[in-house]
Amino acid sequence: MFSIIWKRFRKNPLSVGGLVIILVLATIALGAPLIAPYKEATAINVYNVLSSPSFSHPFGTDELGRDVLVRMIWGSRASLKVGFIAVGIAITIGTVLGSLAGFYGRKTDAVIMRFVDIMLAFPTFFLILAVIAIVEPSISTIMIIIGLTGWMDVARLVRAEFLTLKERDFVSAARAIGASDFRLIFRHVIPNALSPVFVAATFGIAGAILTESGLSFLGLGVQPPDPSWGNILTAGKDNITVAWWLSLFPGLAILVTVLSYNLVGEGLRDALDPRLWTREK
């Protein structure tokens, strides 16, 4: 199965390129302590304020003389951490609720899906802003809030898969030999319903990174002096006429990262679609 998926995935060069970029970014983020000490990302140098890109500072320096490249390397850790943990929370909640709604149907389905409709009625970004206005903004808060407000699409996907899979013969056979509902859901049905979830998770990581960057840009995300791509952009906005590099480099980092995850998501969607397998045969 995995060999077939990989064979189909690698036929899309854009998706493979996106995967390579993601792996490189993940390596840089994980290796940040080895590449540059954290103190270099926060150390103020008043003699080197807003220096343009040079050999000693490839991405220039910011309004406090801090090296932008080092801050972006450490900022990548924040962005990727928010993306993976927030999506992990969303996937867990969405899978559990979608499974219950699709498996039991009737009143359980009605209650859960009406709750999903209520959550979808609120603009997600403004809901996040409202919550952050109440609690203290931090990276942990952002991860939890994005996860708690991003599970609805996953729940709908899993529910749709369950409505189809629970009528299959392998589920009827497992029920006939006395398998419990818990075993039916988590051992037999969920493993066969995860394909669209993987695709949704890939797109979700891209969305979470964008949301975190937007919140940090507004001053409601990762708080200075801790670096993130969003708060580096804030410095770029304040110095746009004299320090173009403060806007260009973090903006490109966000663009390339989000685009890479979207390309990988597109490739996974095609690779995991069994209808395309039959066409190729």
Tens-place pLDDT, residues 169-187: 887 888 888 878 788 888 8
- What is the mean pLDDT of the segment spanning 84-103? 91
HSE, side-chain direction, 13 A CA sphere, residue 121: 6
Q: Which residue has the higher pLDDT, 70 or 276?
A: 70
- What is the mean pLDDT of the segment spanning 241-253? 88
pLDDT for res 274: 61
CA distances in angstroms from 3 to 6, 10, 111, 236, 262, listed in the order given: 5, 11, 40, 45, 22
| Closest to 125 (Cα-Cα) out of 63, 214, 209, 42 | 214
Structural domains of the chain ordered from first start = 2-42+57-280 (1.10.3720.10)
Q: Is the pLDDT of residue 279 over 70?
A: no
**Where is mean pLDDT largest: 20-24, 191-195, 197-201, 268-272?**
20-24
- What is the mean pLDDT of the segment spanning 51-71? 87
- What is the mean pLDDT of the segment spanning 259-270? 89
Query: Which amino acid, one-letter code, is at 252?
Result: L
| Closest to 151 (Cα-Cα) out of 178, 119, 105, 183 | 119
Taking the chain, what is the end-to-end CA distance rounded to the nearest angstrom?
15
- Average pLDDT over the chain reads 85
Confidence of residue 168 (pLDDT cuts 50, 70, 90): confident
Query: Distance between alpha carbon 173 and the CA centroid of its chain, in Å?
Result: 37
Q: What is the pTM of this model?
A: 0.85
| Closest to 31 (Cα-Cα) out of 77, 84, 91 | 77
Q: Is the pLDDT of residue 17 over 60?
A: yes
Cα 91 from Cα 170, distance rounded (Å): 25
**Where is mean pLDDT largest: 38-47, 134-143, 263-272?**
263-272
36-56: per-residue pLDDT in tens? 888 878 888 878 888 888 888
Q: If DSSP codes are grouped into helix, strand and coil, which group holds residue 245?
A: helix
